[in-house]
Chain A
Amino acid sequence: MYAQMVDTGANKVRGLEEMSAQERAFQERIDAGIKIEPKDWMPEAYRKTLIRQISQHAHSEIVGMLPEGNWISRAPSLKRKAILLAKVQDEAGHGLYLYSAAETLGVSRDQLVDELHAGRAKYSSIFNYPTLTWADIGTIGWLVDGAAIMNQIPLCRCSFGPYSRAMIRVCKEESFHQRQGYDLLISLCRDGTAEQKAMAQDALNRWWWPALMMFGPSDAESVHSAQSQAWRIKIFSNDELRQRFVDQTVPQAEYLGLTIPDPDLKWNAERGHYDFGAIDWDEFYNVLKGNGPCNRERLRARRQAWEDGAWVRDAAIAHAEKRAARTAQAA
C-alpha cells in the first residue's frame, strides 16, 4: 500500500498479562476503541512504528506527484489539464496533512524529508513505474487511487487521532481522483477510436500487476502485521484488501471493454470472489531495493527540488526574522 511492510520492531505480539501496567492500560484503551492523542503516554515502539508508517505514506503522496506531473503540460484539453492540476495539488496537500500528523509524534518535517532523500525512508513501490502515455494518467487514477482508497478508508478508524483525522480528510478528496481517472478511460474506451482504446489496454497491461503489488506481500504470517493490527494502525490484512480490490475492479474493466492481463482470473462462485494468478514478488522486492524503472529518477527529482528551493526557504525565514527584529526595536 502507500505504506508497505512497515517494521514494528516486534518479535511477537505480547498478551496483556506480559505487559507492564502502563502498557496494559494503553492496549485496553485501544481495544475499547478510544483514540490515542499525541500527549497521551504510548509505548516507544508504537510511536516509532507510526512515524515510519505515516512518513512513508506522506513520502508516497509527494513522490506520487512526479509521474502525473509529467503529463500536466501535455494534457489533451484545457478541461483535462485543469483536473490533473487539481489532482496533483491534492496529492501535495495529502502529503502535508500526513507530515503534520507525523510531527505530532515528535519528529520534524525536515528530518523526515532528509530520511527520504538519504534513501533511508521508503515510499510506495507503485511510483517507480513510468507514465508512458496519456492513458496511464487515467489508469493511475482508476487503479492506484482506487487501491489507495481501499486501504485508507479503514485507516480513518485507526487508533492514533491525528492520523485518523488526516485520513478522513484525504478520503473525502480521494474519490475525485479515482473518478476522474475512470472518466478519462471512458472517453478513451467507449467514446474513443480503436487506437485510443488500444492505448488504454496497453496502460492496463502495464499497471495491473504493480497495482496488486501495492498491497504488499501476504502478511498472514507476519508478526509486524499482527502487532500493527493489535495497535489498530492496520485494520485488514494485505490479502483481504487485495481481494476486495480485485472484486471491485473486474466489473469496472468489463464496462470499459478492457481485458485484465491475467489468464487465471476467474469468478469463483463457491468463494464468492474472483480467483487471480500468482504475483511476481521478485519484481516487487527488486523495486523496493531501488531497482525499479524509475527509482533513481524519482529520488533525483525530489532531491533537486529540495536543493533548488533551499534559497527560497532561507530567504523567507531571514526576511521574517529581520521584520520581527525591526518591530521589536520600534516597540
Chain B
Amino acid sequence: MKKEWPLWEVFIRSQHGLAHKHVGSTHAPDAEMAIKNARDVYTRRNEGVSIWVVKSADVVASSPGDKEALFEPAQDKIYRHPTFFPVPEEVKHM
C-alpha cells in the first residue's frame, strides 16, 4: 500500500491579541496529527500560542490572472487614506 499523507496549511497565532498567520504546510494523516506535526515543525522556539490547520485542498485562492480586476479599483481611491486631507496648521491635533 502506498498512499501519501495529505497536505495541511498551518496558521500560528504568535501572541495573545494578534491574528493567526500562515507559516507553511505539513503532511499528516488527520487533523489531530496535523496539529501535532505543526507544533513540532513550526513552534520549536515559542513562536505560538495557538495553531490552526486546514487541508490544503480546501483552500480557495484568487488566481494571479484576476489580480487587476480584483485589486486595481482600490488604486485610484487615494481619498480613502487620511493623508489625502490637509489639516490646517492652526488645528493642532486630529
Contacts and interface: CB of A to CB of B under 8 A. Distances in A.
A308 to B, nearest CB: 15
A100 B24 contact: yes
Nearest to A324: B30
A313 B5 contact: yes
B58 to A, nearest CB: 14
A200 B24 CA distance: 39
Contacts, number: 52
Interface in B43-68: 44-45, 61, 63-64
Interface string B1-29: 11111010000000000000000111101
Contact of B7 (A97, A103, A173, A320): A103
A319 B4 contact: no
Interface residues of A, number: 28
A110 to B, nearest CB: 5
A291 interface: no
B87 interface: no
A96 B5 contact: no
A109 B29 contact: no
Contacts of A97: 24, 41
A317 B41 contact: no
A37 B64 contact: yes
B33 interface: yes
Given A110-B2, A166-B24, A320-B33, 4 more contacts: A41-B64, A100-B7, A103-B7, A319-B30
Interface of A: 37, 39-41, 86, 89-90, 93, 96-97, 100, 103, 108-110, 165-166, 169, 173, 313-314, 316-320, 323-324
